[in-house]
A and B are shown apart, each in its own frame.
Chain A
């Protein structure tokens, strides 16, 4: 058998090698410029020893720092950047999926002229006549904080004065900027500082998902709600939501509100802090709390709310005294021109007036993302010369005269700012797999400027290099750190009282007769605006709360569904004006009434047909976030793919995802130290005894751990058909419970990896001994000894074992195997697999300690899920060390073991969530134990 697998593994590697050869030998070759490894190893590639490079993940202009783990020249895994303030060592699911995108075999591989393959020189030859004085070139980008890009455009504009820069994003933050502009009279940006806040009121702002500072916020929330804080010190979060999201689930008080009721509520909040009485008891309680908190209060509004709401919310913050404290204002970081003259609508108008000779679209996909009413696709055909730079030859690439491949962020130099203005650099970690350039490189080439990425970076930021410093070593340090030591300066702001008066007297949209049924648009938790919708890792990730996978849906509250005759998992025809789209219905408790919500980013048509429906078709030309809609039920089945790991409404799961009230005497929980009688021998601790604790009080259910585990452990995605049969292979899952105690549903998340039971029920039933206990307390799988009886999985009380029903890894085409972690076995079909506590990392740390002749330090092993967690909910350590934090956490009064009564003695244990309700709005007490 060992021979057999050896041969197989050998063939696999041969295949990977051949694939690499087919890519022009891009592997193992360093980028032409100097790049700097993050740490650890001064030598370059040491086989078996990964190198970490600092880089950046950018979503809609804003960056968070990442470290890219590379094995022998292949980026395989994204980790957070511990020293980057927007990351703090964590990542979001999108950031984790970067490596999968890099190796996506559907990426564009070369320059295309129409459908024909072409070349960069041919494109440049064709493009040059479009430049120069008198030529009218349009450039369309997304929102960007990149100075390199802005510089490149400025240089090109110097050569071609007719250049006009348009910007478009289907999910941008323009409303916030417009609101701040109105309130403060200056082009400002802001970022929240939850670490300074005590009472936070979110007006439809799912900041744990939408905000560029989401990772920092998650950490701050966990820090400010530590168990040892008394109720008066801890952060209390109120959330009003038009769609159930992470923030509402994390809140102490949550309420559903229709998207167009929020402006009125925002005005009530502003009036309330100014002293007017408020009728609504919920809002009154929140306001009372906010007023007590004063400068530690914070009110936030969702980016999809109109500018007026942002203006009122930030006025409220000013009244509270929170400005400059819990919310910090600074210069606007987005560098694209702002305002109606530079919008997509302006571009369409310019085309219609024949004001453009050529159009260059940089890393945007407006043919897909533009609201259908705008007629962008037809307008595009009117432009005599169009070129599209993108990772994929997508809908826009197909309709442009030229399609140009974009270098992936992991292949290229780049810069972006975090929401706090921290300039974040990215460096290439692999030579471009295909013939791609970045946008600044393309602009430089058009401007006849031969500079390559690194030169462009240095030239852009030459003003930041201190005169006294040695340029080379300064840049070396900056690239090593992945950021520039250039702090953004906060701006002091004040709101004049007459401005407040004006606001209060103004009409807000909800005063106008509100339509019967509203359709709200949101970026998707897995696809965002469609940018990530091709990524099978993200698609297979059950979305928070809804647990939907592989597609989008029209979400509706149960009562509204009944009223409209809509049935869960049947279809609905959504009609807006003369446009209509058919969508599957997802009936979701906790969704506001008289509203349907759809997620953008689905129904992709190129480079391959994607899952779901294209909600963008229904959006008005003013790219509004909501629109009046007519919903007609259809009998057709919807074909929703919903993950089953959620408790039913009748099973609140209090005994599993436990919660307690802050500051009250706790009922006794089944302590992890509890050891029911057993006939099985108790194994003494060996040198190490690995254990994990998961703090449900910190967990926000963001899914980062799930996808980090997937990237680390070579877990294949199984596709929509298999996912519908619950065959997805995630080693850690987020169990979601909902209960309703009369104040709306309350969601609780519980990440469930393998419990690594000391008395593991899986081990005794395996006929081949393929699953065994290791000396250090791990429940190990020997894949090549497993022949797939699946008895272990049947006998697992937690159902954390996953089975390879087919040969899933074999479905990975071309470049995809390059992403795999060489430290982890790729499993064949017919074998069981499960969480290993990242045993490869444990052994790696052991070997490193052994080689250096020392014992392992506490915290030497960080599992993939632990590393990715923005809230630091997961702690991993060694029970055999008296000083290990895990030991203390297991002795915490909040600690408990899942299904402890089965006597499995799990090594993974939980810490109960704490809820800190406002006494005026107190929900029912949690159930008593024993």
Chain B
């Protein structure tokens, strides 16, 4: 992959050793330890909140949430779709951009993959907790049993379970295989217990040519598999809605629209996290403004597809002539759900258009603000899809209203804390940037010691 080498992706004159030093320092340096501990304590509170919320739903049952008749799915499903969407960026950056031969991905792929894994854990919690009897979640699995039980494979929820679980497992493998050479570096640069633990996880990596060759093959193969999954997982998640016959759910544009939305929100979340982390850990040399620029371009592209999705959904709701679809459309445009609808349009469609201007793409501050707004907008979009459609009945008598309860919010805040907590652990214990891959970006120079 010598052709990928491009000095401009690394600021300054960092050589191979300097890259290693910089990245290893994020794990070993005491410079950020105090702030790290403070942040960990704060987010640990979030984890505790999540534990309380999960305990509560097992103790008092799902009735403590705001779900009611006819809004049988509440913000738990909104959160599920949102987190799954966020989980898209990692594998997209790692796998698709790897296959597409984009060298700049190397600076951010590790970080984005970690984000993916934790986001999947957050996402996976929701549909299970949301069950009336969550203790039986394993009925989604076709497992051997004595009472003739078998999942009903026509249900999108079964597909969904498999899609998300497969995506989670594949992402984990992909992340880990990419991590092995760096764990070996960490092993070599640590002492005592730490060295041994890194050693175990490094699987005896010695950096031999044969190791590298097999590693690259496995990595590429997994990248190919993961690429398919990036598209499939949110497609299947969209089936949860598109297969149903509710107006507002039963829409053929949902699969591409969900995938684009996932990429959109995934990149937004990468920016939301990476911008402060870069400053905090002092990685400006490796994660440059050019990286952010490219992320912003991808985000803009995905955003345009999402905008097309909105347009298509609205157009076909009108064009179908179906009275129920048209009622829902009227409600979106100037009815009960209009405030929410126009908010999310401005957040997800209007504001991202600023990224056409290079100045906006290069303004780290604006990107940070915009990425947060897009995250909010995408959450609202999912709220809108899940709850907006359910609140609107097919009969004038079957409409309803939904208000999340304290426990709904606590669970959401809890998963945010859980997400941040594990991201912090990741930053502290695992090299946040892929050293081995970054080293390939360094142009040939007199070699230093490695």
Contact = CB atoms under 8 A, between A and B. Distances in A.
Contact of A799 (B137, B140, B158, B395): B395
B140 to A, nearest CB: 6
B390 interface: yes
A830 B131 contact: yes
B158 A830 contact: no
Interface in B22-60: 60
Given A727-B68, A830-B132, A830-B133, A795 B245 contact: yes
A799 B245 CA distance: 13
A674 interface: no
A492 to B, nearest CB: 50
B152 A736 contact: no
B244 A899 contact: no
Interface string B156-177: 1110010000000000000000
Best-buried of B63, B73, B150 by chain A (most CB within 10 Å) = B63
B395 A725 contact: no
Given A651-B396, A727-B68, A802-B69, A767 B140 contact: yes
A646 B390 contact: no
B282 interface: no
Nearest to B159: A767
Contacts of B204: none
B394 interface: yes
A786 B132 CA distance: 8
Contacts of A647: 395-397
A632 B427 CA distance: 64
B393 A799 contact: yes
A172 interface: no
Contacts of A830: 61-62, 131-133
A645 B398 CA distance: 6
A432 B390 CA distance: 49
Contacts of B60: 806
A441 to B, nearest CB: 45
Contact of A806 (B63, B154, B393): B63
A785 interface: yes
Given A656-B396, A786-B132, A798-B395, A765 B63 contact: no
User: Which A-B residue pairs are the 5 nearest by beta carbons?
Assistant: A788-B132, A830-B132, A805-B63, A651-B396, A769-B152
Nearest to A761: B245
Best-buried of B70, B155, B244, B395 by chain A (most CB within 10 Å) = B395
Contacts of A648: 396
Given A645-B397, A648-B396, A829-B132, A764 B61 contact: no
B143 interface: no
Interface string A897-918: 0110010000000000000000
A722 B64 CA distance: 10
16 contacts: A644-B397, A647-B397, A722-B63, A726-B69, A736-B397, A737-B397, A765-B244, A787-B133, A787-B136, A789-B127, A789-B131, A797-B394, A803-B72, A805-B68, A829-B133, A830-B61
B149 interface: yes
Interface in A775-825: 785-791, 793-795, 797-799, 802-807
Interface of A: 1-2, 644-648, 651, 653, 656, 722, 725-727, 735-737, 752, 761, 764-769, 785-791, 793-795, 797-799, 802-807, 828-832, 898-899, 902
Contacts of B397: 644-647, 653, 656, 735-737, 752
Contacts of B246: 794-795
B158 A767 contact: yes
Given A766-B155, A789-B157, 7 more contacts: A735-B395, A761-B245, A790-B67, A799-B69, A805-B63, A828-B133, A830-B133
B243 interface: yes
Best-buried of B67, B243, B397 by chain A (most CB within 10 Å) = B397
B399 interface: yes
Contacts of A752: 397
Contact of A767 (B68, B157, B398): B157
A516 B61 CA distance: 52
B443 interface: no
Contacts of B151: 767-769
Q: Majority SS of interface residues in chain B?
A: loop
B139 interface: yes
B147 interface: yes
Contacts of A768: 139-140, 149, 151-152
Interface string B377-400: 000000000000010011111111
B245 A790 contact: no
B132 A804 contact: yes
B67 A805 contact: yes
Nearest to A750: B397
A767 B155 CA distance: 5
Contacts of A829: 61, 63, 132-133
A806 B398 contact: no
Contacts of B61: 805-807, 829-830
Contacts of B134: 787
A722 B139 CA distance: 29
A465 B321 CA distance: 73
Contacts of B161: 767
Contacts of B66: 725
Contacts of A806: 60-61, 63
Nearest to A725: B68
Contacts of A727: 63, 68-69
B2 to A, nearest CB: 50
Contacts of B70: 726, 793-794, 799
Contacts of B140: 767-768
A656 B393 CA distance: 13
A898 B397 CA distance: 13
Contact of A765 (B68, B157, B396): B157
B245 A902 contact: yes
Interface in B369-425: 390, 393-401
B395 A899 contact: yes
A802 B400 CA distance: 14
Contacts of B157: 765, 767, 789, 791
A620 B110 CA distance: 81
A735 B396 CA distance: 9
Interface in B198-257: 240, 243-246
Contacts of A788: 62, 131-133
Nearest to B247: A797
Given A735-B397, A902-B245, A765 B156 contact: yes
Nearest to B245: A761
Contacts of B133: 786-788, 828-831
B73 A794 contact: yes
A764 B154 contact: yes
A795 B244 contact: yes
A722 B69 CA distance: 10
A645 B396 CA distance: 8
Contact of A803 (B69, B127, B401): B69
A652 to B, nearest CB: 8
A735 B69 CA distance: 15
Contacts of A767: 139-140, 151-152, 155, 157-158, 161
Best-buried of A797, A799, A902 by chain B (most CB within 10 Å) = A799
Contacts of A804: 132
A903 to B, nearest CB: 9
A670 to B, nearest CB: 13
B346 to A, nearest CB: 28
B149 A785 contact: yes
Contacts of A765: 154-157, 243-244
A446 to B, nearest CB: 51
Best-buried of B66, B140, B396 by chain A (most CB within 10 Å) = B396
Nearest to B154: A764
Contacts of B131: 787-789, 830
Interface string B112-136: 0000000000000001001111101
Contact of B72 (A735, A785, A793): A793
B152 to A, nearest CB: 4
